[in-house]
């Protein structure tokens, strides 16, 4: 296996707490998901986070080029992306900012979800029982133009 390309995500002034929270999501939820899955990763590989008095940095694998529009995707790719978001919800994560530039596509056409800085934890199953369906999933399905299944 050859060298890996990484991305360094730096916290801007005042964004250090949000980046620390994002690091915790990667460490405690997304990394274990990737380790247990034999499928295409949902999120970039997390190599670690570092902080000093002046900087906080996440080190992640490079996952491809951000999308400009969801219209770039085939129906199959949109369905796969929706399945990836459902996987996030199944482990208790709401992404919170599902826009095209927070989804990348690699040279093989596989999608990866990036930027978990607006994410939070929730219980999708409990919300399904209360409201009939999770708001983010319902909204994202519509945004992708996918029919209800």
Say what the pLDDT of residue 132 is. 46
Mean pLDDT of 132-147: 87
Residue 95 and residue 137 in contact, taking contact as beta carbons nearer than 8 Å: no
H/E element, 60: strand 56-61
| Over residues 111-138, mean pLDDT | 78
Residue 137: left if φ>0, alpha if ψ -120 to 50, beta else—which one?
A: alpha
Per 3-state DSSP, the chain is made up of helix, strand and coil in percentages (nearest 5) of 40, 20, 40
Give the list of residues 6+ apart from residue 13 with CB closer than 8 angstroms, or none: none
Q: pTM for the complete prediction?
A: 0.89
């Amino acid at each position: 296996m050859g060298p890996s390309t990484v991305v360094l995500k730096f916290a801007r002034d005042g964004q250090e707490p949000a980046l620390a929270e994002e690091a915790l999501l990667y460490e405690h939820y997304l990394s274990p998901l990737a380790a247990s899955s034999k499928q295409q990763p949902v999120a970039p590989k997390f190599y670690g986070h570092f902080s000093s008095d002046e900087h906080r940095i996440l080190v992640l694998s490079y996952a491809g080029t951000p999308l400009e529009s969801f219209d770039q995707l085939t129906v199959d790719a949109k369905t796969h992306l929706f399945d990836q978001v459902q996987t996030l919800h199944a482990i208790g994560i709401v992404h919170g900012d599902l826009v095209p530039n927070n989804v990348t596509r690699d040279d093989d056409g596989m999608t990866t979800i990036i930027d978990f800085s607006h994410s939070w934890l929730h219980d999708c199953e409990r919300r399904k029982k209360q409201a009939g369906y999770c708001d983010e999933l319902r909204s994202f399905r519509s945004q992708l133009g996918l029919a209800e299944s």
